Amino acid sequence: MEASTTCASCDCDGISSCSNCGGIDIICPSCGLRFLSSDALIQHFNTDGVQCISSLEEDFGIPTAEETNVTGQYDGRSDLFGKGETLLERLQTHEHERRRKHLIYYPFADEGKWELAKFLALNLNKTQVSQFLKLRWFDTRAKPSFGTVDQLFGWLGSLPAGPQWQSTKINISGYETTEDARLIWRDGLEVVKDLFSNPMFAKYMTYSPHEVRCGEEREYSEFFTGTCAFAIQAQLPVGSTIVPIILASDKTPVTRQTGGLEMHPVFLTIGNIQSDIRMQATSHTWHCIAFIPSPEFNIHADFQTILLARVFHWSLDVVTASLKVAAKDGTALVDPCGNVRNCYTPLAHPWDLVAFQKVTKSLKLLGVHQPFWHNWMFGDPSYFLNGEILHSGHKFFFNHVLGWCKVAAGSSILDTRFSSLHQRVSFRHFSSGVSRRLQMTGRDHRDIQRSIVPILDGAGTVTDGFIRAVRGLVEFIYRAQDPVHTDSSIAAMQQALADFHSTKQSILDLRARKGSSGVIDHFRIPKLELMLSFWRQIKANGTLMQYSAEVPERLLITHCKTTFQRTSHNTRTYTDQVVEILNREETIRLFDLYLILRQAEHSAIENAIDSEEEEVTTMDPALEFIRVVAPEKESTFRGPRPFRNHFENPNGFISNLGDVALHITVKPDHKALSVVEMQALYQLPDLPTVLSYYIQGSLAHRWDGQVSTWNKFRIQLRSSFRARFVEKSQVVQVYPPSEEHPFGYCDAVLLRRPGNVHICGMSLITSSSIFYS
């Protein structure tokens, strides 16, 4: 439909100088009529604009189904309100853009100078950069175009800037700190605008609540598939867009020296970005928005915790203030394609500390009377404080379940059994056991959970009831990690937890639950109680894996410490130095993106936004975007490489159903073996008979051809939940017998029988060899 320029109020042509209406602000995205306010537009939709809504609904189609029995329905709708400045257009309004039309790296002479400047700024402190530029090595060689460190930092400061960092002094009335405490932060809404408009995420954005069904069952995966998104959308003006705010924080030391500084880095991302993209620490979807200090107060130690908690919530209140306004009143945001959307950003005074502490302790409260979410619209902590798999699942298992197993089975028996397990490629092997390990990664937790149930069989005083209780919890944690849930998978998760509760008395009977004071005769464990809320949270907010703390904890290591280590450690100017370094890092990140967008053809950017690969093998949108718009930059991109898709290998082996791919190397480990030689190598007495029958279909004649064999191969599957996604391949070992391994070294493989997708239709086999005739 061609847009009209007619004003719905007075039939003027929409000019801002109209004496009747004074100008027009909002355009109906369907019929093109212009309105003075959003209320007038909504009234139009509710009265004579029914056809407009119908035509708009046609533009927002049902998502492509990956399987024939998967359907989607968009009940909510995110309308478009004209065009706005794209990220590139916004960057091109910079004062030096006219110079960059001729020299794109301005003020740097070329790409090499820019790369050198970037390396120095991101890896060295100011003193070290100055020392580098003064090396006598430059006496006989050309110096960079920037001669001093001040000139370098000045040039970097003249580049287009992103959301700016700043510092604010923390002042808790009536209580002094031993040292000045300053909050280092930037505006949360400005960071959201940057994320929301980034073209790298265009293919991975969702704007409307939608219901997905697999057959008759509803699926819960992304935030927008949960009931909470529908409930929020129903309370917003027609055509509004939800921008869910996801925050993560944990205390970490940011300096290495004795008495190092500890802070709470706060990370932000938005729920519009696809969860499997968000859950990659290198995908640039998480932005740091604050460093909250942990100051020491001149007060009795009993009150430190209360004041530190108040500092934390006060700081978050400052950082998220603009987000709260947007959650209540809405704000105009430009999406990656340049469309303007009306967006809402849900999150999900007693100073007498002595008396206040007594009251809060009696109520088992921390003592924060104004948590940062108290005035955040839709900020219900029973919804946005989701169960978290790393701590509520894996660390619960490590701190409690594994401890019960050590007592019941015996630490030495448990260690012996774990150390004697078959070693597989890409899986952790606990050669020294597990009983003396004090810290583990999430990967370690998962690998122990894979083996713990069979390892307990017959160990120490372990009973069948004890094993069933442990198995119930392991099954529950395993199912809670599903990237897609349905009503039946949630019911199976509930049943697993019920199995634990029905058999948990076996753990107490063995006196296996112990604490620092001895045997404990109950299961009053907060994390265990929290598990009862998992299925409600899944239905409300989507799968719990998208809220796992594994990515933020990784970001604490990779994104938070080098900044503070590049300061001069001068306590008087320390905070100012950190702010300057953070702003410089943000400028460099943004200018890199600007260079990619400027150097790419406009059509290439559109292709990167619109194209949809048939099979997904990488979760790094930055790399995929660069591959399309600027392929020559791919080799210099710092990030995870996409894993190989063996389904696309024309020389590979694909199963009849197309859901399994096998891969072998070009060069075999044993070439041109006769059947008799292969029989001797692998010690398979019936090989000639079986091989002849397999190749010829009868035993009338003995097959006497030659074969090549491999000691390992790769097997690759499609995702069980989303067939378009290809999983990473896994190595299967098939080494022949040797002195070190008299019976060979082979991995077990679970095979699915034709026509049966359930576990009862599976067969467990051990690969003895892989060959090609």
Q: Give residue 110's identity as a one-letter amino acid code.
A: D
For the purposes of burial, counting CB atoms within 10 Å of the CB of 70, is it exposed (0-12), middle (13-18) or buried (19 or more)?
middle
Give the tens place of pLDDT for each residue, 397-424.
Answer: 988 999 999 999 998 998 888 888 888 8
Domain regions of the chain by residue span: 1-59, 166-386+557-568, 391-546, 646-772
Does residue 767 or residue 333 have the better pLDDT? 333
As a whole number, mean pLDDT of residues 505-529 equals 90
Point out the least confidently predicted range of 202-211, 678-687, 700-709: 700-709
To the question of pTM greater than 0.95 for the whole model, the response is: no
Looking at residue 63, its pLDDT comes to 36
Joined together, the tokens standing for residue 158 give 């003249």
Q: What distance in Å separates the CA atoms of residue 10 and residue 629, rounded to the nearest whole number?
A: 46
pLDDT recorded at residue 368: 63
Highest mean pLDDT (candidates 31-35, 72-76, 85-89, 472-476): 472-476
Q: Which of 107-111, 346-350, 470-474, 552-556 has the lowest mean pLDDT?
A: 346-350
Provide the pairing of β-strand 706-710 with 670-674: antiparallel
- pLDDT (0 to 100) of residue 570: 67
Average per-residue pLDDT in the chain? 78
- C-beta separation of 104 from 594 below 8 A: no
DSSP 641: P
CA dihedral 585, 589, 592, 597 (to 10 degrees): -150
Q: Do 44 and 35 touch, CB atoms closer than 8 A?
A: yes
pLDDT, tens only, 569-605: 666 677 888 888 889 988 998 888 888 878 765 544 4
Cα separation values, 208 from 76, 538, 543, 628, Å: 6, 18, 17, 27
Residue by residue, DSSP assigns 217-258 as: EEEE-SGGGSHHHHHHHHTSPTT-EE--EEEEE--EE---ST
Rounded to 5°, the CA angle 486-488-491 comes to 110
Please determine, for residue 27, whether its predicted confidence score (pLDDT) is greater than 80: no
Q: Which amino acid, one-letter code, is at 347?
A: L
Percent above pLDDT 70 for the chain: 74
Strand partners of residue 270: 245
